[in-house]
């Protein structure tokens, strides 16, 4: 059977799962140069095995709101592949969550985790629960109910969830508390924990900082420098805020940020303390920024990447960067786009950026800093010791540089020129597929 037919068969096996189809297609098409020269993958039915999750867990989450009404949401955990180590990947709480979104994220996570070189498999979970507008007590009751079911399926050597959209330090704290209450063990079952009870320094900053370390290295390899460049960032959550912090530390200008209601353009450079106050502390809309800094501009609706910038770092959500956005970026002379979010650029957009010679790095490589430091948190928990911020940060920097270096080697080996998507996918896929084969038919 040829590859196109195999992809069709996988789509038919998973009907209606459009995000999952998109992720499968993107990975499998790009690794053609590997598959064409590797009979063992065909012989061992690797494509069928790697695209079928080990298991998908779906459960009801009932909880009481502040008015005493019973609310019901759906919870998910997809344990996709543990060939390299325990399942590892975040939990997302957002109304858009469904099985397709969780499967696409878990599938991507397998290869992202493989790229880090650390011993972690791929998984992802979450719920269609919307944390916006909920009280602290409601969030706590929801997290406790969610963990009451999830705790049956996870463990430090089995599956170690973390945060993602809508799941930050507060939610991880409530989830951890409930796990401990039910199982009566204080162990590293989640990452992104508070520093006082087993969290790692630099975990909060890791995805954003890692993205910018990667950007800096990539530009240097291409004879360029990040200093003085204009950088557009979308999102104003965990990834976006710490990407912006590192961009500014390296002497470049962040001129845009956004949230799900609108976006701001500040030609003088974003005031990050203001953003942290609005989004991290007061949890308000980004439109507040203009009230506090009237010289900035605020626009309602989706960020269309119409502001000229040399570097684009989409850090909000999947498929936020449309073809039209990519046309704007090309027209405005952007030199590099690195995905801080998971799959933020639509497939036609990726194609255009590659054709026009814009340096494009997929999320599974560019945003791997978060899961890398999560794995370092697991190591610290096992060793029962804490590393300093600088120790973790320098390991993070090294991991990001190694990922880039290994992708460049793979691109050379398979004659992929600057197709970093194919380079990252081949490198990650090969590590997982070879391990599956070595472990027999299981």
Catalytic residue among 103, 112, 124, 229: 124
CA–CA separation, 179 and 203 (whole Å): 21
Nearest to 318, CA basis, from 345, 346, 350, 344: 344
Return the H-helix or E-strand segment holding 183. Answer: helix 169-183
Structure tokens at 160: 């170690």
Return the ∠ at Cα 134 (arms to 129 and 137), rounded to 5°: 105
* Burial (CB count <10 Å: 0-12, 13-18, 19+), residue 189: buried
CB of 418 to ligand NDP, least distance (A): 23
- 166 within 8 A of 96, measured Cβ to Cβ: no
CB of 405 to ligand NDP, least distance (A): 20
315, β-bridge pairs: none
CB of 43 to ligand NDP, least distance (A): 34
Name the residue with the smallest CB distance to ligand NDP.
Answer: 237
Residue 300 or 438 with smaller CB distance to ligand NDP: 300
Residue 231 or 239 with smaller CB distance to ligand NDP: 239
CA–CA separation, 114 and 429 (whole Å): 8
CB of 165 to ligand NDP, least distance (A): 4
* Burial (CB count <10 Å: 0-12, 13-18, 19+), residue 320: buried
CB of 249 to ligand NDP, least distance (A): 18
Nearest to 255, CA basis, from 264, 381, 390, 305: 264
Based on the residue annotation, tell me whether 124 is a catalytic residue of this protein: yes
Residue 34 or 105 with smaller CB distance to ligand NDP: 105
Residue 47 or 362 with smaller CB distance to ligand NDP: 362
Instruction: Count the neighbouring beta carbons within 10 Å of the beta carbon of residue 294.
Output: 9
Residue 176 or 414 with smaller CB distance to ligand NDP: 176
* 271: helix, strand or coil: coil
Q: How many CA atoms lie within 13 A of 136 on its CB side?
A: 4
Instruction: Count the neighbouring beta carbons within 10 Å of the beta carbon of residue 348.
Output: 12
Q: What is the DSSP letter of 200?
A: P
Binding residues (CB under 6 A) for ligand NDP: these are 163-166, 207, 235-240, 259-261, 315-317, 320, 340-342, 367, 370
How many DSSP H helices and E strands does the chain contain? 18, 12
Residue 133 or 440 with smaller CB distance to ligand NDP: 133
Structure tokens at 310: 């040399």
Residue 10 or 236 with smaller CB distance to ligand NDP: 236
CB of 136 to ligand NDP, least distance (A): 17
Positions annotated as catalytic residues are 124
């Amino acid at each position: 059977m040829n590859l196109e037919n195999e992809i069709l068969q996988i789509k038919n096996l998973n009907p209606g799962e459009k995000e999952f189809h998109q992720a499968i297609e993107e990975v499998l098409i790009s690794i053609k140069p590997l598959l064409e020269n590797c009979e063992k993958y065909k012989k061992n039915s690797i494509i069928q095995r790697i695209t079928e999750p080990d298991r998908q867990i779906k459960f009801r989450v009932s909880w009481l709101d502040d008015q005493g009404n019973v609310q019901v949401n759906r919870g998910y955990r997809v344990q996709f592949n543990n060939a390299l180590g325990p399942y590892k990947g975040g939990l997302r709480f957002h109304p858009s969550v469904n099985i397709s979104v969780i499967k696409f994220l878990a599938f991507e996570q397998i290869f992202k985790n493989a790229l880090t070189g650390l011993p972690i498999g791929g998984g992802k979970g979450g719920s269609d629960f919307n944390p916006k507008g909920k009280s602290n007590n409601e969030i706590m009751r929801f997290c406790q109910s969610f963990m009451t079911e999830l705790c049956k399926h996870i463990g430090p050597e089995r599956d170690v969830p973390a945060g993602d959209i809508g799941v930050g330090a507060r939610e991880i704290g409530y989830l951890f508390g409930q796990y401990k209450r039910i199982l009566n063990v204080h162990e590293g079952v989640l990452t992104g924990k508070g520093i006082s009870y087993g969290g790692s320094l630099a975990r909060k900053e890791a995805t954003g900082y890692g993205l910018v370390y990667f950007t800096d290295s990539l530009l240097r390899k291409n004879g360029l420098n990040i200093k003085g460049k204009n950088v557009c960032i979308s999102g104003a959550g965990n990834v976006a805020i710490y990407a912006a912090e590192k961009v500014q530390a390296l002497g470049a200008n962040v001129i845009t940020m956004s949230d799900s209601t609108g976006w701001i353009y500040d030609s003088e450079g974003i005031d990050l303390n203001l953003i942290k106050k609005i989004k991290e502390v007061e949890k308000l809309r980004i439109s507040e920024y203009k009230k506090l800094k009237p010289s900035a501009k605020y626009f309602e609706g989706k960020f269309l990447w119409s502001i000229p910038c040399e570097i684009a770092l989409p850090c909000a959500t999947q498929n936020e960067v449309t073809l039209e956005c990519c046309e704007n970026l090309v027209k405005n002379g952007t030199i590099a786009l690195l995905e801080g979010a998971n799959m933020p650029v639509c497939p036609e957009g990726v194609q255009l950026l590659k054709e026009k010679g814009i340096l494009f790095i997929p999320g599974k490589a560019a945003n791997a800093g978060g899961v890398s430091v999560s794995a370092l948190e697991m190591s610290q928990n096992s060793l029962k010791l804490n590393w300093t911020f600088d120790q973790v940060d320098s390991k993070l920097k090294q991991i990001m540089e190694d990922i880039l270096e290994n992708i460049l080697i793979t691109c050379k080996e398979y004659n992929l020129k600057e197709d970093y998507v194919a380079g990252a996918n081949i490198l990650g896929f090969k590590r997982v597929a070879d391990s599956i084969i070595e472990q027999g038919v299981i």
